[in-house]
Structure 1
């Protein structure tokens, strides 16, 4: 009897965690901005209850992107920019090696899940912007998407 109660508890815990994960993983509408080595299937931003995505200062914003590789990719880097008043302003990441956020190398036809986050620094001004998130391999663009955001308190 104790074993079945333990199994039931495990099933309830797994279902609860899965439900919470689905509730907080929010698919967002994005625009492709020049993906060439892959096709983006989905982009999830947490938290992002609605557009523009609120990027709260002094917090992390998580990005999960699923894509299909259109070519073999041996290595990749991450570049994040804010389009502010027509200028692309780089948002520094502590680690720009995208292969630390997804499996590398990648074979053509493989479906890949990329997971990363960015810390929204306190000194960033409160404003609306367009975020451009890009994976690159050498001079080639693996994936690129944009989405509207706003930096908040």
Structure 2
């Protein structure tokens, strides 16, 4: 009985860990190969980005050449319109592990950034929704080198959501 309980607990823990792994599309990484993207929290696809809360993005990649430095650019793509997200820090090197910059060719690196989800980001307002206000968006996250070339370019689906609210009557 104890062995079954341990097995069930292990499976539940594994499923919880896997829930944050995110589906992503490479949109033109020229100077690296991206191996994984993790958005936390991301219990489902598209990843819910909750207004006035933080989301953490971790991108694991292997550069194909040495890179001295660079910066990050983030856009939300809504109905084919690209809207830049304002980042509090766009520098690349402080967000790279294990060693920061310079990035060495062939050595796996992880870029991690925690972004505050601003209340100014667009949401759809609807009178009849019972759950949350939301709009679907593709997040495009680019890491560019000192010459402006894409080290990493990834897209992942998200939705910007507010807190739960009560439905309103039309009376």
* TM bucket normalised to smaller: 0.7 to 0.9
RMSD: 1.7
1:98 aligns with 2:106: no
Contact 1:101-1:115 within 8 A present in 2 as well: yes
Between the aligned partners of 1:100 and 1:37, the Cα distance in structure 2 is: 19
1:117 aligns with 2:114: yes
Task: Select the structure that is richer in helix.
Answer: 1
1:37 aligns with 2:34: no
Match of residue 108 from structure 1: 105
Match of residue 21 from structure 2: 27
**DSSP-derived class of the 1:27 partner:** coil
Contact 2:37-2:57 within 8 A present in 1 as well: yes
Structure 1 consecutive aligned stretches of length 4 or more whose deviation exceeds 2 Å = 22-25
Question: Which residues of 2 match residues 1-153 of structure 1 at below 5 A?
Answer: 23=17, 26-102=20-96, 103-126=100-123, 127-137=135-145, 138-153=147-162
Structure 1 unaligned blocks of 5 or more: 1-18
Structure 2 unaligned blocks of 5 or more: 1-12, 124-134, 163-171
Instruction: Count residues in correspondence.
Output: 134
Contact 1:80-1:132 within 8 A present in 2 as well: yes
Contact 1:27-1:44 within 8 A present in 2 as well: yes
**DSSP-derived class of the 2:93 partner:** helix
Larger radius of gyration between Structure 1 and Structure 2: 2
Task: Select the structure that is richer in strand.
Answer: 1
Match of residue 168 from structure 2: none
Between the aligned partners of 2:95 and 2:56, the Cα distance in structure 1 is: 12
Cα deviation 1:19-70 (Å, max 9, x = unaligned)? 79x7387211100000011100100000111111000000111011111111
Question: Could you tell me the TM-score, scaled by structure 1's length?
Answer: 0.83
